[in-house]
């Protein structure tokens, strides 16, 4: 039972600041500590938002690993890092945990800048085994004996990168330990052949446990019990071979240990002590429950994977002020509308069905929906194959995760000019998830590829028309839209196509032009309105396309205005503003003063979207300031 913050008893946690403090505790105290840490995590996430279910599932794992191993000399590499809150709490960040994901506070993911116990920066799935292999190799070169432990979830284990790393690690025979944290869930239930394999191991484990229970019961029956047990020996042998646990990993060169129950500290500690003394690559298969210890999260781990602030007692998210649909929801609705009219449209997600708004599509068109697991590269090349066969695949992936599929976009889609639509969600500033999750590079990495069309809607209504345009244009297209709610505009009755490469003038002005795209259009309009009241007349152009640019519109603006401001939520290097500058240089445009607003050459840390837009001058106030400076 979760208690309210004011009555929470943290009597054991009070004594623990660093891993060495664990080593003086009894198992009973460690169990109490696990409960106290859970309370702290639940209460903190309830007020700050964050990754709840995964972290609750990994509390005993974090405690047992830090208890047994000599961290930070022994290195624990967390995969993704969204499950590492307990690790943070017992490695010197108990007090600062209340600042989780706040601007200037601690990050939601392990960060080397934050603690020596965070040995590798993470946020994207599947990196831990490769990084751990690198650490193991380095130890070998340096002649050091410290232990290297990668902790990876069953979802992340399905990434191509994890397989590449297993392939290397199993063969290299380096001392390293992989802890497979298996809760049968990715964000939604895990998918794929590996997941089925792990499931069979677990089923086998349950069968073995059941056998032991039944045997115990039979033996207790006076007279006949022993006899029945002897008769059942044969059956038992065949049951044993029902599953050879971990054979796959053994074949790859690992010593397989497991499956281990992941919420029994005494048992986990004993097993990790044995594993610590083993040589070569070891895979410890640990079974955990996502959401462990918080009823709502255990019942609905998907809803509590990443969650905004919520009420601890009811589990309900605290109400959001806006009732406008999100861009994701609008995408989800529109793709269904389009798919009804065109049977060639299929949808692909890389383990983010809910996050990308495809649940309804999945319900409506189960045969035309594919969750490929955390496999962005495969998702894109799989789409290319479908496109060659005449289908129109819509691949919905967050901007930050699409980075992983760059070569597939270039080599498998664009080189063959295949009509694959990339629904690039969470593009721009995403907020509290921080540097690993900001979607600030896609204009730059997509617009440089031949044949690619890149567009961004100013609002949720335009998103609908752009999606129709994208599926009908017969080209590789990236449609990028931000995290969060739309601006609440009226939705047109009918979907219509937009002319490729055509922007629009939204507001006429005489002194200066602001050329905006995507989420920066409305703040630019608001800025223009504010400036008009001060006698400053600003024209606002919605560019719509990063590629191809609306050359006529841009040339006209360059001729009519001596001053132009370009606004984008993307890095300045190679982004939309760069594209316009390149175009002006090519056309020999002279004498225009041009200022670009966007993200400078740095990674953007965690804070709310509003705080970050403010910090980088991409909100109304920043645009007003930039205009005033330019006309001064
Ligand atoms: C490359 C990449 N794609 C997608 C994601 C989004 N994501 C974050 S956690 C997660 C599920 C991870 O599942 P698992 O490794 O089993 O960890 P669990 O949450 O179950 O503990 C996904 C898909 C990501 N972080 N990185």
Closest ligand 1 atom to residue 57 Cα is: 21
Which fold would CATH assign to domain 327-480?
A: Rossmann fold (3.40.50)
In terms of pLDDT, which residue wins out, 572 or 9?
Answer: 572
Give every strand in the sheet of 176-182, ordered side by side: 75-78, 148-153, 176-182, 281-287, 255-261
Say which of 290, 292, 480, 485 is annotated catalytic. 290
Tens of pLDDT along 374-425? 999 999 999 999 999 999 999 999 999 999 999 999 999 999 999 999 999 9
Q: What is the mean pLDDT of residues 149-173?
A: 96
Is pLDDT at 1 greater than 80 in this prediction?
no
Measured from CB, residues less than 6 Å from any atom of ligand 1 are 54, 57, 80, 82-83, 124-125, 153-156, 181, 183, 185-187, 290, 351-352, 374, 376, 401, 404
Lowest mean pLDDT among 1-5, 42-46, 142-146: 1-5
d(CA 117, CA 399) in angstroms, rounded, equals 29
Same topology, domains 327-480 and 504-631? Answer is: yes
d(CA 607, CA 614) in angstroms, rounded, equals 11
Count of C-beta atoms within a 10 Å radius of residue 595: 16
CATH of 5-307, one of 3.40.190.10, 3.40.50.970, 3.40.640.10, 3.10.105.10: 3.40.50.970
Portion of the chain with pLDDT greater than 70, in percent: 92
Q: Is 290 a catalytic residue?
A: yes
Contact in structure between 452 and 420 (CB atoms under 8 Å):
no
In terms of pLDDT, which residue wins out, 433 or 323?
Answer: 433
Is pLDDT at 244 greater than 90 in this prediction?
no
d(CA 355, CA 335) in angstroms, rounded, equals 15
Reduced to 3 states (helix: H, G, I; strand: E, B; else coil), residue 365 is: coil
d(CA 183, CA 56) in angstroms, rounded, equals 11
d(CA 146, CA 154) in angstroms, rounded, equals 26
Tens of pLDDT along 297-309? 999 999 999 999 9
Q: How confident is the model at residue 215 (pLDDT cuts 50, 70, 90)?
A: low
Q: Is 60 a catalytic residue?
A: no
The best mutation among 150, 305, 374 to test binding of ligand 1, ranked by most ligand atoms within 8 Å of the C-beta, falls on: 374
Taking the centre of ligand 1 as the mean of its atom positions, its distance from the CA of residue 185, in whole angstroms, is: 9
Tens of pLDDT along 13-53? 999 999 999 999 999 999 999 999 999 999 999 999 999 99
Q: Residue 310 carries which DSSP code?
A: B
Closest ligand 1 atom to residue 54 Cα is: 21
Tens of pLDDT along 501-542? 999 999 999 999 999 999 999 999 999 999 999 999 999 999
The best mutation among 77, 129, 184, 186 to test binding of ligand 1, ranked by most ligand atoms within 8 Å of the C-beta, falls on: 186
Give residue limits of the domains in the chain.
5-307, 327-480, 504-631
Say which of 376, 432, 568, 620 is annotated catalytic. 376
What is the CATH code of the structural domain delimited by 504-631?
Answer: 3.40.50.920
Question: What pLDDT is stored for residue 3 in this prediction?
Answer: 46
Is pLDDT at 239 greater than 50 in this prediction?
no
Signed CA dihedral, 455, 461, 467, 472: sign only: negative
Nearest to 618 by CA among 540, 527, 533, 536: 527
Q: Residue 589 carries which DSSP code?
A: -
d(CA 358, CA 369) in angstroms, rounded, equals 8
The whole-angstrom distance between residue 31's C-alpha and the CA centroid of its chain comes to 31
Tokens of 98: 């209340």
pTM of the model: 0.92
Reduced to 3 states (helix: H, G, I; strand: E, B; else coil), residue 240 is: helix
Is pLDDT at 427 greater than 60 in this prediction?
yes
């Amino acid at each position: 039972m979760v208690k309210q913050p004011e009555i929470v008893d943290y009597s054991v946690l009070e004594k623990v600041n660093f891993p060495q403090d664990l080593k003086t505790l009894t198992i009973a105290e460690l169990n109490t500590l696990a409960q106290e840490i859970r309370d702290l995590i639940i209460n903190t996430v309830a007020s700050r938002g964050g990754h709840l279910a995964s972290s609750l599932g990994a509390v005993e794992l974090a405690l047992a690993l830090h208890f047994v191993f000599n961290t930070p000399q022994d290195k624990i590499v967390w995969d993704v890092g969204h499950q590492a809150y307990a690790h943070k709490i017992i490695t010197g960040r108990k007090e600062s945990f209340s600042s989780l994901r706040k601007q200037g506070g601690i990050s939601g993911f392990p960060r080397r800048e934050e603690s020596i116990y965070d040995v590798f920066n993470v946020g994207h799935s599947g990196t831990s085994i490769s990084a751990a292999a690198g650490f193991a190799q380095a130890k070998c070169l340096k002649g050091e004996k410290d232990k290297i432990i990668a902790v990876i979830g069953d979802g992340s284990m399905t990434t191509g990168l994890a397989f590449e790393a297993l392939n290397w690690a199993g063969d290299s025979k380096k001392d390293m330990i992989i802890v497979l944290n298996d809760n049968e869930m990715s964000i939604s239930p895990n998918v794929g052949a590996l997941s089925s394999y792990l499931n069979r191991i677990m089923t086998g484990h349950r069968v073995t446990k059941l056998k032991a229970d039944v045997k115990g019961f039979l033996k207790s029956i006076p007279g006949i019990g022993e006899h029945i047990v002897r008769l059942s020996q044969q059956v038992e042998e065949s049951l044993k071979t029902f599953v050879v646990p971990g054979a796959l990993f053994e074949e790859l060169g690992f010593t397989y240990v497991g499956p281990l129950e992941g919420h029994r500290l005494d048992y986990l500690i004993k097993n990790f002590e044995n594993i610590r003394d083993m040589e070569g690559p070891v895979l410890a298969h640990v079974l955990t429950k996502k959401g462990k210890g918080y009823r709502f999260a255990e019942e609905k781990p998907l809803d509590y994977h990443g969650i905004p602030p919520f009420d601890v007692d009811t589990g309900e998210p605290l109400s959001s002020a806006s009732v406008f649909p999100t861009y994701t929801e609008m995408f989800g609705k529109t793709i269904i509308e389009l798919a009804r009219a065109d049977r060639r449209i299929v949808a692909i997600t890389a383990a983010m069905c809910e996050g990308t708004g495809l649940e309804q599509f999945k319900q409506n068109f189960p045969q035309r929906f594919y969750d490929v697991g955390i496999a962005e590269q495969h998702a894109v090349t799989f789409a290319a194959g479908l496109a060659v066969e005449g289908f129109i695949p819509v691949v919905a992936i967050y901007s930050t995760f699409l980075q992983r599929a760059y070569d597939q976009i270039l080599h498998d889609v664009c080189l063959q000019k295949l009509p694959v639509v990339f629904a690039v969600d969470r593009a721009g500033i995403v907020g509290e998830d921080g540097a690993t999750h900001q979607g600030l590079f896609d204009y730059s990495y997509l617009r440089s590829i031949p044949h690619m069309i890149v567009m961004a809607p100013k609002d949720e209504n335009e998103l609908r028309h752009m999606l129709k345009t994208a599926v009908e244009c017969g080209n590789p297209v990236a449609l990028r839209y931000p995290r969060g709610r739309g601006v609440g505009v009226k939705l047109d009755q009918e979907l219509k196509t937009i002319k490729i490469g055509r922007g629009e003038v939204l507001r006429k002005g005489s002194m200066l032009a602001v050329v905006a795209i995507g989420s920066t259009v409305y703040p630019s309009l608001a800025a223009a309105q504010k400036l008009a009241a001060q006698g400053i007349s600003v024209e606002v152009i919605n560019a719509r396309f990063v590629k191809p640019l609306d050359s006529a519109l841009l040339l006209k603006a360059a001729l009519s205005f001596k001053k132009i401001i370009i606004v984008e939520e993307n890095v300045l290097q190679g982004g939309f503003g760069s594209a316009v500058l390149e175009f002006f240089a090519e056309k020999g445009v002279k004498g225009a003063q041009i200022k670009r607003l966007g993200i400078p050459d740095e990674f953007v840390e965690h804070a709310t979207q509003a705080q970050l837009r403010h910090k980088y001058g991409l909100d109304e106030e920043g645009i007003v300031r930039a205009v005033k400076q330019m006309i001064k």
